[in-house]
Amino acid sequence: MTDEPNKGQLDISKLLEAWQYTPGQLNVRRIDGDDGEPRIQIRLDLGILQLYTTGRPDGQRPQGYPSYLDYCEARLDAEQLGAEDAPAVQIDEEPEQDANEPFVMGEEDCRILREEAAQYYHRYMALLLLEDFDGVVRDTTRNLRVLDLCSRFAQNDHDRQVLEPYRPYILMIRARAVAGQALKDGEPKAALLAIDQGLDALKGYFSHMGRADEFDNSNEVQMLRSMRDALVPKLPVSQKAELKQRIASAIEAENYELAAILRDELRMMGESSGA
């Protein structure tokens, strides 16, 4: 680092002036990069954050893998398969792990995974706003893998537990994204199922943590329940129920001819209207 000005560097003031920061809201847009590939940009108060839309958000390939999580999972797979050419277990200066010892991740491994997970968090929140629900599901599912890996294999208790409080939030965002995609696809019943599955996952989490009494008051649970309550009135009624409603409306309007036709349709479906 140097205090000397570098004339080869670009001043981004005009970029920032052209895209004003709006406090209190997530300012996100999708652009095409100079290479023709899409990018996501997030406007912050002091600048612009730019992310790749796939792969690791910063475009890096740690240890030659798509992400550091993939690298750690490859080490775990090699350990479980007993591969002789498994990557080194520790990246810091701690002694190498004996081949006969169970797989563990050191503090440096866990630190890198947490920092990497933060990148994916920024991206999936931006993707949620852009309604790229498939991308949100991909990235939230990926971050849940980080939590699972750390909770099972981190060497110390702090690294095993520090990410767990974020699990309910990730589960909630993932459920919202699955439901959002179902709604885009015109499948409200599938959206309802996704929300219910998210609530079940949250209930399982609180029960597993010995905090079942906190489930109903959880912000994540209340968010999904609110979404569910808003969704239920939009569910399509069955064809028979719709016919019954149309018959009642026709009778109320004294359009008995239409009501008779609709009754015939209902009988053909094997049920009398009872009107």
244-253: per-residue pLDDT in tens? 777 888 888 8
Residues 80, 207 within the same domain: yes
pLDDT of the residue at 118? 97
**Length of the chain, please?**
275
pLDDT of the residue at 95? 35
Alpha-carbon separation of residue 87 from 9, 92, 149 (angstroms): 38, 13, 17
Can you tell me the distance from the alpha carbon of 209 to that of 87, in angstroms, rounded to the nearest whole number? 33
Residues 163, 262 within the same domain: no
Q: Percentage of the chain surpassing pLDDT 90?
A: 63
Residues 220, 254 within the same domain: no
pLDDT of the residue at 91? 40
Confidence of residue 140 (pLDDT cuts 50, 70, 90): very high
Residues 212, 143 within the same domain: yes
User: What number is the average pLDDT over the span 225-230?
Assistant: 91
26 near 123, Cβ under 8 Å? no
Residues 262, 172 within the same domain: no
Residues 120, 254 within the same domain: no
The 3-state secondary structure of 137-190, one letter per residue: HHHHHHHHHHHHHHHHHECCHHHHHCCHHHHHHHHHHHHHHHHHHHHHCCCHHH
Examine residue 125 and state whether it is found in any structural domain, yes or no: yes
Residues 149, 258 within the same domain: no
pLDDT of the residue at 214? 95
Does pLDDT of 87 surpass 90?
no
Residues 122, 257 within the same domain: no
The bridge status of strand 27-32 relative to strand 47-52 is unpaired
Does pLDDT of 88 surpass 80?
no
Residues 6+ apart with CB under 8 A from 100: none
Tell me which residue range forms the domain holding 263.
239-268
Residues 114, 198 within the same domain: yes
Examine residue 12 and state whether it is found in any structural domain, yes or no: no
Residues 62, 170 within the same domain: yes
Does pLDDT of 266 surpass 70?
no
Q: Which two tokens stand for residue 216?
A: 């109903």
Question: What would the pLDDT profile of 185-209 be if each residue is shown by its tens digit?
Answer: 999 889 999 999 999 999 999 999 9
Per the structure, how many domains does the chain have? Answer: 2
